[in-house]
Amino acid sequence: MKKWTYFILMMLYSSITISLNAQVTDTVRKWNINTCFDYAATHNIQTNTLRLNEQYAAQNLLAARGLKIPSLNASIGNSFNNANNDAADNGNLVNQLTSVGNYSLNASIVLWNGNFINNNILQSNLLLQSAGLSVKQSVNTIVLSIAQAYLNILLAKENLTYITDLVATSDSLVRQGQLFFEAGSVAKINLLQLQAQFASDKYLLVQTQNAVLQNTLALKQLLQLPLDSLFDIVSPVSINIVEFLPSLFNAQQKALQNFPEIKIGKLGIDIAQIDIAKAKAGFKPVLSANAAIGSGYSDVLTNNNYPKTGYFTQSGNNFYQRLGITLAIPIFSNFINRSNVAKANINLKQSSLNLQNYQLVLSQAIEQVYLNVTNARQAYAAASEQLLAATESFRIINEQFKLGGTNTFEVLQLRNQYVQAVQAYTQAKYTAVLQQKIYEFYIGQAITL
């Protein structure tokens, strides 16, 4: 009996422990907006692909610098030859197997090639900088997308709070209407209208709850989180809309100085100019130096008619040194060099157009955001006044209905106005916040909530 009691107690302890561990494991981790930014900057697939491109560019720079130092390689070879030879110089052929070994160490370096190597190093360094700026550009795009998705969740959650209160109010109205109906103060049709509105509010609550889930899923997918990860966001205590913002001109100037796409465009022009210099180097001579040391050894393995020379003696006798300089002068290259220069000049013009386009697109985007901020603030101010009036009207009509001083038609009419005012207010509020944060981001301020 004691054994069974002990066994049951152990099973209960194990089940409680497993349940507690499961609760800890399944706890939803809540992320603030900065955590989302940091995670995306580290784990986003597209951004990490650009980081690999940056590493690739770094290796190209290393290879370009390596051209300024000599190359060095060693060669060791051995061959065997079997043939009929006149080994004794008497006209009689004998079959001989010969082994021949060659050993050499070779070095070469380009002394001058129209400054091609130096220009190649400079260009590789600029390409590395451009690759790094592409990573920053990708992070900026992700930050703006995350900010919008994060605020969409906050918008849906605030709507959910309002709709939940609305459902509670509708429930109270239905119960009050039921009492009036039972007392004979209202007709059946009025009670049915209240019940229908209560059902509609509950349906709206379900839709709002689904909007929270959908927007949360959108942010989770944007962060590229694993499918089985539990995720939710931290709601800030308050969200403020600042009254003062820098002028449009100042915002555009700061963005044109600091945004990575503009810097990429300027680097593109520098890279294209170096391409022209590299292409022109094809018309110039190339001066290179080379050196080599080596030796060899041969031995007749079968039917040898001469005394055998020792390995070290023969390899020492065969030891040689070579030093040379080569000047390659281009005379005619089938128009290749001429075509390369022409194409490099075309690329320079295209790079200039790219920079102009980047500047134009960025300036227009900031101007659009500035207009959006202005309009959103005006809409927010109007929506705030509308909500204040609708809330007070709805409160008063509810009190009157409880006292039997009004009918259901007026209650439902003001209730619909209140719902519309709430939805307009929350939408205007978060639209104003989003546009404000985007505008601040363009002038170099970090997005915080």
Between CA 380 and CA 239 the distance in angstroms is 13
Sole residue written with tokens 């080994």: 87
pTM of the model: 0.82
pLDDT of residue 87: 66
Between the alpha carbon of residue 287 and those of residues 64, 111, 151, the distances in Å are 18, 5, 64
**DSSP string of 322-380?**
EEEEEEE-----TTHHHHHHHHHHHHHHHHHHHHHHHHHHHHHHHHHHHHHHHHHHHHH
Residues of the chain below pLDDT 70: 1-28, 87-89
pLDDT of residue 29: 75
Among the listed residues 411, 398, 403, 418, the one whose alpha carbon sits nearest the alpha carbon of residue 194? 411
Between the alpha carbon of residue 448 and those of residues 131, 144, 292, the distances in Å are 27, 12, 65
Between CA 441 and CA 142 the distance in angstroms is 12
Sole residue written with tokens 């005012």: 421
Instruction: Evaluate whether 84 touches 291 at the Cβ level (below 8 Å).
Output: no
Q: Is 236 left (phi over 0), alpha (psi -120 to 50) or beta?
A: beta
**DSSP string of 72-141?**
EEEEEEEEEEEEEE-TTSSS--EEEEEEEEEEEEEEEEEEESTTHHHHHHHHHHHHHHHHHHHHHHHHHH
Determine what percent of the chain falls in helix, strand and coil, rounding each to the nearest 5. 70, 15, 20
Q: What is the pLDDT of residues 203-244, one digit of tens each?
A: 999 999 999 999 999 999 999 998 888 889 998 888 888 778
DSSP 185: S
Domain locations in the chain as residue ranges: 33-69+112-285+335-442
Instruction: Evaluate whether 101 touches 297 at the Cβ level (below 8 Å).
Output: yes
Between CA 77 and CA 100 the distance in angstroms is 8
DSSP 234: P
Between CA 52 and CA 308 the distance in angstroms is 60
pLDDT of residue 88: 66
Q: What number of other Cβ atoms are within 10 A of residue 406's Cβ? A: 16
Between the alpha carbon of residue 195 and those of residues 160, 176, 187, 198, 320, the distances in Å are 21, 11, 13, 5, 108
- CA-based angle 320:287:346, to the nearest 5? 145
pLDDT of residue 21: 44
Between CA 332 and CA 419 the distance in angstroms is 82
Instruction: Evaluate whether 382 touches 421 at the Cβ level (below 8 Å).
Output: no
pLDDT of residue 22: 40
Q: Which CATH architecture has domain 33-69+112-285+335-442?
A: Up-down Bundle (1.20)
